[in-house]
Chains A and B, each alone.
Chain A
Amino acid sequence: MHEYPITEQIVKIASEKAKENNARRVTRITLVVGEYSGFIGESIQMYFDIISKGTLCEGAVLEMENVKAKWRCPSCGIDYIRKPLSFACPQCGQDGEPTTIGKEFYVKNLEVET
């Protein structure tokens, strides 16, 4: 249920871009999906097949680039993937800060036929 309205947005964004470029149809859509975006690739794909019917995106392949969330250590300055139940830096043990890495959720590019 959660992915339905968001998949409508994806089809809308891709169709608009395709039209702007006078494309006949969209053959591939690449999404960047961060770990904390809360969206599941498989569910988007399932809705995509239904929602894209009759649009320029019908039959397009959905590609996902998944991004793991990273924390940044204020002392060492390194970005790292945290261990479960901890935010500690693997180098110095101090708790790191959240970053924007892993929160991405956008349409990166399309492949179209003109």
Chain B
Amino acid sequence: MMSGKEIEVVQNIFDENDRIASAINESLDKRGIFVINIMGAPGAGKTSSIINMVKGLPEEKIYVIEGDIESDIDTVKLKELGIETIQINTNGACHLDAPTIEKSLLELTINQPGILFIENIGNLVCPAEFQIGEHIKMLICSAAEGSDKPYKYPLAFEKANVILLTKCDLKEYVDFNDEFFLRGVRALNKSVPVFEVNAKTGTGFEEVSQWLRNKKN
């Protein structure tokens, strides 16, 4: 005779992803690699910020993993600057996850300690939910996106370990409200540092690089 039965489970669906992410973090950490997960909306200035940070950290060996839905425009740009870069095309997927990074790391030649920037897919929603082996999450947010972003995408701001407010020279043209923006950030994340930068001129990146140097050591 058939009988029905209820089984208690209570198992987090992210468990497997998080387990792989921890293993990646541990293995890279042992090799002296500091991993930064770069999150932000499309066009926020993720790649331009990476380039500025690389320039500000000449003593570090830099590795980059570029996540993109398609194309390798950003990878070409970075390689032209002599930065060790590999490309991941997610073919439609909206975020990077730990198994994807685990696979792509097999292609990356890591021969000395340094910093690995992982540029996530341009999106403010799901990249915040998936650990990918990072030491820190850096949120890139541009003034042009508007000052209401912490209120609309709270998780990304809550999880960020550092925030770069890019395109700061545009603030006055887009009526950016500093007070409203910062109030939202502080409600979600009391201690996160917020750096105001301009990737076109490089303004503000000296402080970012110094912060990263301290964080890494």
Contact = CB atoms under 8 A, between A and B. Distances in A.
Interface string B11-25: 111111100000000
Contacts of A107: 9-11, 13
Contacts of B125: 38
Q: Interface SS of chain A: helix, strand, loop or mixed?
A: mixed
Interface in A1-56: 1-2, 5-6, 9-10, 12-14, 17-18, 21, 23-24, 27, 31, 36-38
Interface residues on B, range: 35 or more
Contacts of A21: 5, 7
Interface residues on A, range: 35 or more
Contacts of A9: 13, 15-17
Given A2-B95, A105-B13, A110 B7 contact: yes
A108 interface: yes
A98 B154 contact: yes
Nearest to A104: B12
A114 B3 contact: yes
Interface in B2-51: 2-17
A1 B9 contact: no
B84 interface: no
Given A2-B94, A36-B154, A114 B11 contact: no
A109 B6 contact: yes
Contact of B10 (A1, A24, A84, A106): A106
A63 B190 CA distance: 36
A21 B6 CA distance: 10
Contacts of B158: 98
A86 interface: yes
B151 A13 contact: no
A106 B12 CA distance: 4
Given A13-B11, A95-B183, A2 B6 contact: no
B9 A13 contact: yes
Contacts of A14: 9
A65 interface: no
Contacts of A85: 148, 151-152
Contacts of B11: 13, 17, 106-107
Interface string A60-89: 000000000100000000000000111100
A13 B13 contact: yes
Contact of B9 (A17, A37, A95, A98): A17
Contacts of B68: none
Given A97-B187, A109-B8, A1 B93 contact: yes
A106 B13 contact: yes
Interface of A: 1-2, 5-6, 9-10, 12-14, 17-18, 21, 23-24, 27, 31, 36-38, 69, 84-87, 95-98, 103, 105-114
Given A110-B9, A114-B3, 4 more contacts: A31-B13, A109-B7, A109-B9, A113-B3
